Amino acid sequence: MASGYPISALVGKAHIMKLITEGRVIHAGTMNSNNPCIAAAMATIEILEAEKTHDKLYNLGLRLMEGIREAARATSQNLRVQGMGPMFQTGFSDLEAAVDYRDTLAFEKAKGGKLVAGLQNRGIRIIGRGLWYISNAHTEAEIDQAIATVHTVLREDF
């Protein structure tokens, strides 16, 4: 919300929030009313709104997800890709989809580790348990590079 600055939002139903505004319930926090954090959040929100960042994140993420799925099909790997575009997860499994934590326990961790290491060795960093994040800084060319790298890793390292 504030591009890395410490901030949070306290939200709720009007009748509950009213207790705070009336002073009947205390809301205290270390960073309350911290001007640099508020300024960072306001600047971030302005950029998100002006640049239609959410659309960009979803489009790039969906493009990357489909590219990874195609790489898995082309190399006959059981790599599953699921999530919401800007943030998604990959894992090797014969399940159609992981719907809860127990399903993720069935992922082939050794293969997942090979994918993560292969990508890392080629300059692409994902979270070790297969999480991918898209940021506003990513470009279509970088997404295409990531897809090509996944193809390479699945073809050469497996």
CATH of the domain at 123: 3.90.1150.10
- Who contacts 129 (Cβ-Cβ below 8 Å, separation ≥6)? 89, 91, 104, 112
How sure is the predictor about 9, in pLDDT bands with cuts at 50, 70 and 90? confident
Q: What are the DSSP calls for 101-124, one per residue?
A: HHHHTTS-HHHHHHHHHHHHHTT-
Pair 77, 153: CB distance under 8 Å:
no
Q: Which residue has the higher pLDDT, 2 or 25?
A: 25
Mean predicted lDDT score pLDDT of the chain: 93
Pair 123, 144: CB distance under 8 Å:
no
Q: Is residue 119 part of a domain?
A: yes
pTM for this prediction: 0.79
Please tell me the total count of domains within the chain: 2
What six digits make up the tokens of 101?
Answer: 């934590």
Dihedral angle over CA of 19, 24, 27, 32, nearest 10: 90
pLDDT digits (tens, 9 = 90+) for 22-31: 999 988 877 7
- H/E run at residue 18: helix 14-21
**Best CA proximity match to 153, nearest among 108, 107, 117:** 117
Q: Does residue 113 sit in the same domain as residue 92?
A: yes
pLDDT digits (tens, 9 = 90+) for 34-85: 889 889 999 999 988 898 899 999 999 999 999 999 999 999 999 999 999 8
Q: Is residue 8 part of a domain?
A: no
Q: Does residue 132 sit in the same domain as residue 68?
A: yes
Q: Does residue 58 sit in the same domain as residue 29?
A: no
What is the reported pLDDT for 72? 98
pLDDT digits (tens, 9 = 90+) for 84-121: 989 999 999 999 999 999 999 999 999 999 999 999 99
Sign of the torsion formed by the C-alpha atoms of 86, 136, 48 and 51: negative
* Residue 33 scores a pLDDT above 80: no
